[in-house]
Structure 1
Amino acid sequence: MSLDDSDRELVVAELGRDPTSAEEALFENLWSEHCAYRSSRPLLSAFESESDDVVIGPGDDAAVVALDDSTYITMGIESHNHPSYVDPYDGAATGVGGIVRDTLSMGAYPIALADSLYFGGFDREHSRYLLEGVVEGIADYGNSIGVPTVTGSTQFHPDYEGNPLVNVACVGLLPAERLITAEAQTPGNKLLLVGNSTGRDGLGGASFASEDLAEDAETEDRPAVQVGDPYTEKLLIEANEELVDGALVESARDLGAAGLGGASSELVAKGGLGADIDLERVHQREPNMNALEILLAESQERMVYEVRPENVDAVAEVAEKYDLGCSVIGDVTDGNYVCEFEGETVVDVPAEFIGDGAPMNDLPSEEPTQPDRDLPDADVREAFEAVVGSPNCASKRWVYRQYDHEVQTRTSVLPGDDSAVLAIRRAELGLAFSSGANPSWTTTAPYDGARAVALENATNLAAKGATPLAAVDCLNGGNPEKPDVYGGFKRIVDGLADMCSALDVPVVGGNVSLYNDSPSGPIPPTPTLAMTGTTAEYDAPPAELSGEGTLLFVGEPTADLGGSEYLAQMGGSDRFPELPGNAPELLSRLREVATADGTLAVHDVSDGGLAVTLAEMVSDDAGASVSLGDADAAETLFSELPGRAVVETTDPDAVFDAFDGVAPVTELGEANDSGTLQLEVDGEGLRYAASEIAALRDVLVRELE
């Protein structure tokens, strides 16, 4: 590890001396792109993060949003991209552990996870190896700690081959009176380290996450990957509950990037305070650790707590009860951030300087362009089977059936639907949860593709009758020092911010992950969005047909196919579709229809277009007879313009009335009990039994088991 010359000059000027080796390493990690957001922070002001429901917005370990006066939720999201390439199992598992501890540090109990995963082409053996390891890591960790993974997405794109993305979001639940923050409160309070013992794993993880992946990353960077212990995390979750219930904690922060040095310095810096820390007091699992190792190791399942002196013994008793290590490592002060080791001062710096003093980067950028229209002359049947059976549009049940999505008994709408819905009985409402992005959209048009990602997640909620509450984002990009890469990244930030603002959805927190570049090239600009919304009921209309109603297609027609799976499978290019200008009103009407008495099923139109929506709605018990007349088959079946949906209803007139003047509604045909999709379009007739569609859509199961 080494500090850049220009940064070192700033540090020397501030301190009036050369930094110690421990200080230099601490600055190198905390001033890294991963921690300081040096290339992205100037862009993040585009997001609106306030509303009447937002209690704590960006800047803490997790955001806090009110469901009512006495019930709050937390929302957080993080990436573990580089570690998941080097060690897919431990990289993904510790990503789950980290976002759960961010939830704990706000006083909340974690109630739901969402994973959004991005891999190279599914036909590549290496991509499948990463997929299997990542899913196993998420499943083993999440299942062991008893937190359900209820929603998410899995995407395949050739440009992730050298650098997959693993983005994990978490929702927590807490009574309002239990809220704590990551801001130190009072000089004289004690700092306690609770949880696992400290080893040498994860050293330099923050700086490792701020560099392009090299060809030898899988072997050379393995020491930078943390190793998780979910059973200790489960004990930490329960201990944290007891500590918060007993009002024994003044503030808290989890140990993630840059380990103890990062967590403790950020905790006191946020409160405008300092600390005196004795590194030798840290409980360790390896002998002869030096100051730098103790300070920067990213060993998992650890929390730092600010505790009043009279409560130290009570905290230690709780830690002992749960068989967790507990060390009184120092004091909150009104001076510098100071660390001692073996009688020497190894760190003595202003906490606010190390936390917020990193200079921002002013990088050149190039405006991205969209491709020209060049459509293939494809056979409708061939295209239908290729798109419906593609890994991106196929069933993801191979992924989500490995997760325990019903633990805690809150999940009322299960994975595989447009969004999950959780029963929040304390507030007597349902909480809908959606997460994901589509890299083909943002590769084609970074700005409009990111706007579409926001609209798609909001449509997922509306299809279940939910009103958006808030969102968090994980903004993933390549090397920002490349003008074309940074130009695309800037546009996804603007696009996501503009659509969230238009939909009146505050973006209350998030994560930025840059330098996702490798010898195979940069990743697509990828704006993962995790959005929550509320419903008056715990239940929601299903995505599958009942077989008893009329099918209606809600939304604008479009001739543009840019970013579609159809072009990915059949070849060609096109501009991205123009998004509806009245998205808020459109989604409001969709929510109204979704909760109407006559509505039997609702499913949004997104990846794969109308073809995939209809294929997903058919089951062995319910089919449909659909006629699209002389409409252009490719444009009608495969455009992926979001903000549209298929509704099965016993009251078609009510749906037409609801969307009058807002969006066109087209009658597609009738649902029935045939278990078959019969589809006529532009003179072509397609007929598939539900079992045939299931066979097409089970490509992940077929290839991975």
Structure 2
Amino acid sequence: MTLDTVKHAAGTPETELPWKELGLKEDEYARIREILGRRPTGAELAMYSVMWSEHCSYKSSKVHLKQFGEKAPENDALLVGIGENAGVVDVGQGYAVTFKVESHNHPSYIEPYQGAATGVGGIVRDILAMGARPVAVMDPLRFGAADHPDTKRVLPGVVAGIGGYGNCLGLPNIGGEVVFDSCYQGNPLVNALCVGVMKHEDIHLAKASGAGNKVILYGARTGGDGIGGVSVLASETFDDTKPTKRPAVQVGDPFQEKLLIECTLEVFREKLVAGIQDLGGAGLSCATSELASAGSGGMRVELDTVPLRDATLSPEEILMSESQERMCAIVEPRHVDRFMEICEKWDVIATVIGEVTEGERLEIFWHGEQIVDVPPGTVAHEGPTYHRPYARPEWQDALQADDAGGLPRPATSGELREQVLKLVGSPNQAAKSWITDQYDRFVQGNTVLAQPEDAGMVRIDPDTNLGVAVATDGNGRYAKLDPYAGAQLALAEAYRNVAASGARPLAVSDCLNFGSPEDPAVMWQFAEATRGLADGCQRLGTPVTGGNVSLYNQTGDTAIHPTPVVAVLGVIDDVTRRTPIAFAEEGQLLYLLGDTREEFGGSAWSQVVHDHLGGLPPKVDLDREKLLAEILISGSRDGMIDAAHDLSDGGLVQAVTESCLRGGKGARLVVPDGLDAFTFLFSESAGRAVVAVPRSEELRFTDMCGARGLPATRIGVVDGDAVEVQGEFTLPLGELRTAHEETVPALFA
């Protein structure tokens, strides 16, 4: 077979290439020919196909994502924003923290263990590439119905993959979510977040500058796994054939990644790197084109020097391979020998595969023959931009009119008690310890809070106790009812969870999971959610530092609920002042902060008791969220709050149950004037929290709330070994614990 060189391509314009099979549209292929002034070579076509995929180019979403920049609030803490591998914020004392959340949804359905494992590995390398040491991971997960046979196939594999990879890396898994809903059947969402820490001066960017600097590929050998992962597997709608596409799923080796991390951190310490990029989605195609495009020159690569696991791989396959545990560094010639010494010390394969050039082209050669000659920016950053049509779906009005407030409510105290047990034992509200116990949450010894706390928290300075907290949240049911409000409710909940731990919210990363962008109704959901999140971040003063869009989460005509997952990172000056959720001391006074209204649209109660989705989600008041956060942070810092738990999915009764079981203490509750017991227990009004206040601090705490205008209602006391709602029912903690903790093991153990 004749090698398809640049010269050969110029002389054979009529040659047919498999552009459609590689996920390109006809007009996209025509645009590539226009850019090059000829037909592409096979290698060039491979590069454009993966880099112009939905997953890499954001071609359907970037017209909406630009709002995150246009509406970005002024924030002195932001050091690196959207456009790099991950955002970076200043947390004080000379420290910078980088964090990002990404998706690995489709691979995790095809091959649950490897899909989830390599999702963790990929996000860890994104953080590493910024110059940071990874210190913690989190995993927001969505699965189909808990009792569906395929959920029993997917969930255990995903959980084992996350735990297996993260535990081997020695990274604590400090938070996340597990949600079940039939809309995710066949389209589970496996999102992965990583947090990293560095000093300000250690920040690294993905760019290739300095003619003569060497391009070094280091890490694992390149194999045939992951080929077409971003262009085909992650960028089209699922159908019945998808579980056969296993070669498109990457295979991970966490021990190789651990060596890669330590090796990379050592070359950073010795300042041997001028630019760096990890190899994740689109592999070498991404790393070479993005480094060259972001730099000040061109790049020449000798592709036949790439170390291979499979000697039969073609140039196109090498460029498209998404084999894991690989990095690409730009190194000055004077540092190459030392760079190689460090790689050898860590038993990491390293190979000079090219160099930065004076020109403005990315040139790739195969055994001396040129197979790629492209402007790198057209591959990396100048892909198609689609203004997809979008329209409010015809069914939206009927969905919102189907108000959950009209559903039958418990008529007796006995029915109320029965529905409380049903709620706290339902798969979504039940304890997830069977899952989280498979993750090492405390490795490294710096974990301060982890599941099931409101936020994960890690210490980043052992001398001063400076720390950061992170929470991820997202409610697809709310977003289905109102995508704009749903996105803001996800933001508000994550913001509130961070504040409830005692940390001050600083910045946001997001993973926007939606159905097919070719459906105008889905694009309307996406446009509304993005607008809502951008407006919400502007109001709260928390800039979006980066994130991910995952589209085509759809089987046939059935899309998932719009699921914007929002991660909020906050800083706490002293982690010893953090606030747990546990009610741990008898006599603590329980206060409900915020206003409780008749809001049941999209609620856990409506789902669990009536299998109903309709109406409007809770109203969003971001000014109230800011005020609530200020009270929670001040109360924590000044010793006025012993415990705090945000109120969200499941309402007050869910939060009180979790806090009582966490601390092993009961609570006596009194329904406040103006509320009925049902609304008091099950409402999901936003902007609320329940706090435990020491008796000695009650006056000071209520004075603070009153002075700042935050409603604070005393609703009970920590006492005994049961949850008692006076005048209604008593539920012993043992009975609650059985209902809450046995559901998930019974389904999956």
TM range (shorter): over 0.9
Contact 1:376 1:570 in 2 (8 A): no
Report the secondary structure of 1:585's partner residue: helix
Summarize the alignment of residues 514-663 of structure 1 with structure 2, pairs less than 5 Å apart.
514-519=551-556, 521-539=558-576, 540-545=578-583, 546-571=585-610, 572=612, 573-582=614-623, 583-619=625-661, 621-628=664-671, 631-649=675-693, 650=695, 651-660=697-706, 662-663=709-710
Q: Which residue of 1 aligns with 2:441?
A: 405
- Superposed CA deviations along residues 256-311 of structure 1, whole A, max 9, x for unmatched, are 11111111111111114321101100001112221001111000000000000111
Aligned partners of 2:709, 2:305: CA distance in 1, in Å? 65
Counterpart pick for 2:491 among 451, 454, 477: 454
* Alpha-carbon offset, residue 343 of structure 1: 2.6
Q: Which residue of 2 aligns with 1:96?
A: 120
Counterpart pick for 1:343 among 359, 364, 368: 368
Q: Which residue of 2 aligns with 1:696?
A: 739
Q: Mark the CA change 1:475 to 1:107 in structure 2 (over 3 Å): closer, same or farther.
A: same
Report the secondary structure of 1:425's partner residue: coil
Contact 1:272 1:352 in 2 (8 A): no
Q: Which runs of 5+ in 1 are unaligned?
A: none
Counterpart pick for 2:407 among 357, 373, 376: 376
* Alpha-carbon offset, residue 629 of structure 1: 5.2
The amino acid of 1:666's aligned partner reads T
With 156-165 and 650-659 compared, the bigger mean Cα shift is at 650-659
Are residues 1:24 and 2:45 paired?
A: yes
Q: Which residue of 2 aligns with 1:361?
A: 386
Aligned partners of 1:327, 1:359: CA distance in 2, in Å? 33
The amino acid of 1:569's aligned partner reads V
The amino acid of 1:656's aligned partner reads T
* Alpha-carbon offset, residue 98 of structure 1: 0.4
* Alpha-carbon offset, residue 91 of structure 1: 0.2
Q: Which residue of 2 aligns with 1:513?
A: 550
Contact 1:316 1:326 in 2 (8 A): yes
* Alpha-carbon offset, residue 520 of structure 1: 6.7
The amino acid of 2:366's aligned partner reads F
Report the secondary structure of 1:18's partner residue: coil
The amino acid of 1:82's aligned partner reads H
Report the secondary structure of 1:188's partner residue: coil
Q: Which residue of 1 aligns with 2:535?
A: 498
Aligned partners of 1:632, 1:123: CA distance in 2, in Å? 34
Report the secondary structure of 2:66's partner residue: helix
* Alpha-carbon offset, residue 686 of structure 1: 1.8
* Alpha-carbon offset, residue 533 of structure 1: 0.6
The amino acid of 1:642's aligned partner reads A
Counterpart pick for 2:30 among 9, 15, 30: 9
Contact 1:199 1:285 in 2 (8 A): yes
With 183-192 and 43-52 compared, the bigger mean Cα shift is at 43-52
Q: Mark the CA change 1:285 to 1:581 in structure 2 (over 3 Å): closer, same or farther.
A: closer
Q: Which residue of 2 aligns with 1:679?
A: 725
Contact 2:672 2:715 in 1 (8 A): no
Q: Which runs of 5+ in 2 are unaligned?
A: 1-20, 411-415
Aligned partners of 1:637, 1:502: CA distance in 2, in Å? 30
Contact 2:73 2:537 in 1 (8 A): no
Aligned partners of 2:553, 2:78: CA distance in 1, in Å? 31
Summarize the alignment of residues 105-504 of structure 1 with structure 2, pairs less than 5 Å apart.
105-207=129-231, 208-219=233-244, 221-333=245-357, 334-367=359-392, 369=396, 370-374=400-404, 375-379=406-410, 380-425=416-461, 428-504=465-541
* Alpha-carbon offset, residue 128 of structure 1: 2.6
* Alpha-carbon offset, residue 436 of structure 1: 2.3
Aligned partners of 2:689, 2:283: CA distance in 1, in Å? 46
* Alpha-carbon offset, residue 359 of structure 1: 2.1
Contact 2:133 2:196 in 1 (8 A): yes
Report the secondary structure of 2:264's partner residue: helix
Contact 1:50 1:57 in 2 (8 A): no
Q: Mark the CA change 1:520 to 1:608 in structure 2 (over 3 Å): closer, same or farther.
A: farther
Contact 1:465 1:594 in 2 (8 A): yes
Contact 2:74 2:541 in 1 (8 A): no
* Alpha-carbon offset, residue 594 of structure 1: 2.8
Contact 2:147 2:747 in 1 (8 A): no
* Alpha-carbon offset, residue 591 of structure 1: 1.6
Report the secondary structure of 1:407's partner residue: coil
* Alpha-carbon offset, residue 185 of structure 1: 2.1
Contact 1:517 1:523 in 2 (8 A): yes
Contact 1:139 1:404 in 2 (8 A): yes
The amino acid of 1:14's aligned partner reads I
* Alpha-carbon offset, residue 457 of structure 1: 0.5
Contact 2:73 2:541 in 1 (8 A): no
Q: Mark the CA change 1:160 to 1:337 in structure 2 (over 3 Å): closer, same or farther.
A: same
Aligned partners of 1:362, 1:414: CA distance in 2, in Å? 41
* Alpha-carbon offset, residue 68 of structure 1: 2.1
Q: Which residue of 2 aligns with 1:41?
A: 62
Aligned partners of 2:730, 2:153: CA distance in 1, in Å? 35
- Aligned identity (percent) is 39
Aligned partners of 2:28, 2:535: CA distance in 1, in Å? 34
Contact 1:195 1:326 in 2 (8 A): yes
Contact 2:209 2:296 in 1 (8 A): no
Report the secondary structure of 1:409's partner residue: coil
Aligned partners of 1:636, 1:453: CA distance in 2, in Å? 22
Contact 2:672 2:713 in 1 (8 A): no
Q: Which residue of 1 aligns with 2:15?
A: none
Aligned partners of 2:649, 2:329: CA distance in 1, in Å? 44
Contact 1:88 1:130 in 2 (8 A): yes
Contact 1:276 1:338 in 2 (8 A): yes
Contact 1:74 1:103 in 2 (8 A): yes
Aligned partners of 1:329, 1:283: CA distance in 2, in Å? 10
* Alpha-carbon offset, residue 378 of structure 1: 3.3
Aligned partners of 2:629, 2:556: CA distance in 1, in Å? 42
TM-score relative to the length of structure 1: 0.97
Q: Mark the CA change 1:303 to 1:371 in structure 2 (over 3 Å): closer, same or farther.
A: farther
Report the secondary structure of 1:618's partner residue: helix
Report the secondary structure of 1:659's partner residue: helix
With 410-419 and 294-303 compared, the bigger mean Cα shift is at 410-419
Contact 2:104 2:190 in 1 (8 A): yes
Aligned partners of 2:478, 2:433: CA distance in 1, in Å? 23
The amino acid of 1:308's aligned partner reads E
* Alpha-carbon offset, residue 32 of structure 1: 0.8
With 559-568 and 655-664 compared, the bigger mean Cα shift is at 655-664
The amino acid of 1:4's aligned partner reads K
